[in-house]
Amino acid sequence: MLVGILGPPKGMSEGRVLVTPRQAGLLDHGGVRVIVESGVGRAAGFEDADYAAEGASITASREQLLGESDLVLSVARPEPAECAVVRAGSTLMGMFHVNEDAPFVEAAVARGANVVGLERAQTDDGHHPFRERMAEVAGVVCAQLAAELLLRHRGVLLGGVAGVPPVDVVVVGAGHLGRAATRAFSGAGATVLVFDRSLSALEAVEREGLRRVQTMLAGPSEIADAAAWADVLIGAVRLPDGPPPKVLSAMQGHHGAVWLDLSVDEGGCIQESRPVYRAEDAYVIEGVLCCPVPNLASWAARTASRIGSALLAPVLLAAAERGRFQLSAEPWLVRGALS
């Protein structure tokens, strides 16, 4: 069995990998050949030499990797034209955030390949391991990003100091992403108000016993009122199927506020959101600093890579024992199939 570790297409901002060098070494010892695109792990602190030391082969040819691998692992989706060389019966697996009619999916399926979106993969008890764990990473990163933007643009500390109160943060959405952001902001000393339409989701926040955190059932007027005074607003609205609704406009914020739409990779929950990939590219609408970053977990590339590699480890080691990767043997991955 040959497992290929593919990097993102040129120009795409993505530093995560789904197999760390250590995991590549375990696969090599299990009789699995691993081929790695040169430079794929550099943003996560994994050099080509680290993979080579664990028995992996290094290639600069994406065509070779896609054409020879039985299983291709890539956080970012390949270009449709690149899929013209994939092998019939092979599997492309990654956090693609696309639907079945995406051009690269259609191109791969036309070649007889399987495509699996790991963000869709679902366990028997209803959990989405990849989506939930990456949401936890993104939630922590967003608090650090908000703190950086507040300090750089307003000279304000997120948590305040004696005699100066902390900033007021509003989190819209109490799913895994919203709860992770709430924990991070609370830990940094901010005051946090969390909105959600689900009472059970808000109860989950309350059970954590976080300091300076309050919850409120979400309604259009309640969210709009909070948006008018929030120093930081986090859009963390996710729906099980389909894009999130537009629940706010940046026009409703106050001058100097920082808004982060973490739903932007699925369409965004703030009307004016358009993706940016660096803090320096944040833009201002009526005095509100907007920084909607997709795939924010990729900013913590090494941490996120270790999580992804750990989640896939049992799958890959089981495939090594069988001598081949068999999608039907992993029902939770079958639920993420795009083909």
- DSSP string covering 125-188: TS--HHHHHHHHHHHHHHHHHHHHHHHHHH---SS-BTTBPPPEEEEE--SHHHHHHHHHHHHT
Would you state the pLDDT for residue 16?
94
Phi, psi of 160 (to 5 degrees): 70, 180
Confidence of residue 177 (pLDDT cuts 50, 70, 90): very high
Residue 100's H or E segment, with its range, is none
Stretch 114-136: mean pLDDT = 94
Which residue ranges form the domains of the chain, and what is each CATH number?
2-117+299-334 (3.40.50.720), 131-294 (3.40.50.720)
Output the pTM of the full model. Answer: 0.90
- Give me 242's structure tokens: 């389909």
pLDDT at 11 over 80: no
Annotated catalytic residues are 97, 265
Stretch 104-127: mean pLDDT = 94
Q: How far is Cα 109 from Cα 5, in angstroms, rounded to an integer? A: 20
Q: How far is Cα 3 from Cα 24, in angstroms, rounded to an integer? A: 9
Q: How far is Cα 161 from Cα 141, in angstroms, rounded to an integer? A: 22
**Burial environment of residue 337 by CB neighbours within 10 A (0 to 12, 13 to 18, 19 or more):** middle
Straight-line distance from the first to the last Cα atom of the chain, in angstroms, rounded to the nearest whole number: 21
Helices H, strands E: what count in the chain?
Answer: 10, 13
